[in-house]
Chain A
Amino acid sequence: MKEDNLFERYGRQMILKGFGEANQQKLLQAKVLVVGAGGLGCPALQYLAAAGIGTIGIVDNDAVSLSNLHRQVLYTTDDIGLPKAEVAASRLRRVNPQIKIVSYTIRLNVSNALDTIREYDLVIDGTDNFASRYLVNDACGILNKPLVYGAVSQYEGQVAVFNVSDKKGHKVNYRDVFPASPKNGEVANCEQAGVLGVLPGIIGTMQAAEAIKLITGIGKPLLNKLLTYNVLTNEIYDVHLTVSSAGKGLAPQDEASFLAMDYSDGCRAEEGTVVEIDAEQFKGISKKPSAVVIDVREWGESPLLSNFDYQQIPMSVFRENIAAIKADTIILFCQHGIRSLYAAEIVEEVFGTTKNVYSLKGGIVKWSDELV
């Protein structure tokens, strides 16, 4: 990159006292992974890209839906049904063509988390469920990667920096705050409890700021502190965190024990790891090169479909034949969306959580106008 370009784009922050070109170069050399391109991930990504983080990874296996748009400000109504990681990546490339953006349309799990995170210097937790939060936390712990945590509920948000030692050499992680993942339904998620759209905007932006501070060394990042922000009162409450022996006991200590962990019994299990999708999402996800669409109806059932490519593996022979599927994204459909949901459970039994599995909710009958 030419020197004058650098100053033209980033000059406003480079002229800051205590920032300068050296810190801009640190940002340009940094690699940041944002897990979850939702309410927290969108604003974090926008500011990290704009600030000139040299390499940004985006992990999200979800598709944009209408209910996302009140808070997930990278997406437009036209994006509904499209994969978030890819839409976000293309927007950010337009924000800053000089940086590298890598999209991962996957859900992190024990078998892909370490390899994905290993490539990056710092991770931002923008996930929306406890199973993913503990998974990301534990993976970062094993790899000793700084983790900028953020979470929201209703009118309040939390931010913290994990896995970075303070001056005394102390460092904490999420398990020092909450040693074990809450069980099914113990804590409501955004879908159940609601969230004011602007709140993740504030918290995600704070996460981006913490990342920039950690990379450049300016200011005082939230080391060993959990900050709680209330958007209704503007009150901030920060709590000093200490190492918890209970948390240490529950965290995997090495890669082998991480691979053997079961993260599925948190809130995610209640939501189901199988994602039920509508026709818009069906069209969006099925366009992905890594996706395969499978009809689980029996031979001879009608209507036959010609608007998209698919293969047929009837339920009667599904279990025997599914193991041969190589694609990492599997979209299942049937007449009413009941058999395909059952088939999705079989996919999970066979492959664990290594595949992204979708079932067309309501089946061909419900979406005949869109798909037949």
Chain B
Amino acid sequence: MTTRIIVFGQLTDIINSSELALDNIRDTDSVVEELNNRYPALVSAKYMIAVDKQTVTENTILKEGSTVALLPPFSGG
């Protein structure tokens, strides 16, 4: 099972792309764990998580074809 991960704002600077794919990821906690391992700067970054365009606040099981989005807060005006 492949999960599409998309990131926004300055998170794209951390992972050097706006999108990546992760294989055999079961839930959102595992997404965070895997990304933190690959991109240590992400550990201290602030963002919210959406699965298939729905915000999640707790660990969420992923389905085949799910897209996980990481959205940071913007302050600029």
CA A191 – CA B75 in complex, angstroms?
10
Taking the complex as formed, is B10 at the interface, i.e. its CB lies under 8 A from any CB of chain A? Answer: yes
- In the complex, chain B residues whose CB is within 8 Å of the CB of A157: 74
Q: Which residue of A has the minimal Cβ distance to B73?
A: A178
Interface magnitude class on chain B: 20 to 34
A-B contact pairs, 6 of them (CB 8 A): A39-B77, A156-B74, A177-B48, A186-B46, A187-B73, A267-B75
B12 to chain A, nearest CB (A): 9
With contacts A241-B55, A246-B57 known, is A152 near B44, CB below 8 A? no
Flag if B54 contacts A153 (CB, 8 Å): no
Which residue of A41, A153, A177, A200 contacts B75 across the interface (Cβ within 8 Å)?
Answer: A153
Flag if A228 contacts B8 (CB, 8 Å): yes
With contacts A153-B10, A178-B46, A240-B54 known, is A128 near B76, CB below 8 A? yes
Flag if B77 contacts A187 (CB, 8 Å): no
Q: Is the interface of B mostly helix, strand, loop or mixed?
A: loop
- In the complex, chain B residues whose CB is within 8 Å of the CB of A182: 46, 73, 75
Flag if A38 contacts B54 (CB, 8 Å): no
Q: Which residue of B has the minimal Cβ distance to A35?
A: B77
Taking the complex as formed, is A151 at the interface, i.e. its CB lies under 8 A from any CB of chain B? Answer: yes
Q: A151-B74, A154-B9, A237-B8 are in contact. List 11 more A-B contacts (CB 8 A).
A: A127-B77, A130-B75, A153-B76, A157-B74, A188-B75, A189-B75, A193-B10, A195-B76, A228-B71, A239-B50, A239-B53
Flag if B71 contacts A152 (CB, 8 Å): no
Flag if B73 contacts A130 (CB, 8 Å): yes
With contacts A154-B10, A178-B48 known, is A190 near B77, CB below 8 A? yes
With contacts A239-B53, A242-B54 known, is A151 near B75, CB below 8 A? yes
CA A61 – CA B42 in complex, angstroms?
35
Flag if B73 contacts A239 (CB, 8 Å): no
Flag if A153 contacts B71 (CB, 8 Å): no
Flag if B73 contacts A151 (CB, 8 Å): yes
Chain A residues within 8 Å of B, Cβ to Cβ = 36, 38-41, 125-130, 133, 150-154, 156-158, 176-178, 182, 186-190, 193, 195, 200, 226, 228, 237-242, 244-246, 267
CA A226 – CA B54 in complex, angstroms?
10
Flag if B53 contacts A240 (CB, 8 Å): yes
Flag if B74 contacts A242 (CB, 8 Å): no
With contacts A156-B9, A182-B46, A242-B54 known, is A237 near B76, CB below 8 A? no
- In the complex, chain B residues whose CB is within 8 Å of the CB of A195: 76
- In the complex, chain B residues whose CB is within 8 Å of the CB of A242: 54-55, 57
CA A188 – CA B77 in complex, angstroms?
12
- In the complex, chain A residues whose CB is within 8 Å of the CB of B72: 153, 187
B49-61: contact bitstring with A at CB < 8 Å (1 yes, 0 no)?
A: 0100111010000
Flag if A186 contacts B54 (CB, 8 Å): no
Which residue of A177, A190, A239 contacts B76 across the interface (Cβ within 8 Å)?
Answer: A190
CA A189 – CA B10 in complex, angstroms?
11
Q: Which residue of A has the minimal Cβ distance to B53?
A: A239
B70 to chain A, nearest CB (A): 11
Taking the complex as formed, is B31 at the interface, i.e. its CB lies under 8 A from any CB of chain A? Answer: no
- In the complex, chain A residues whose CB is within 8 Å of the CB of B48: 177-178
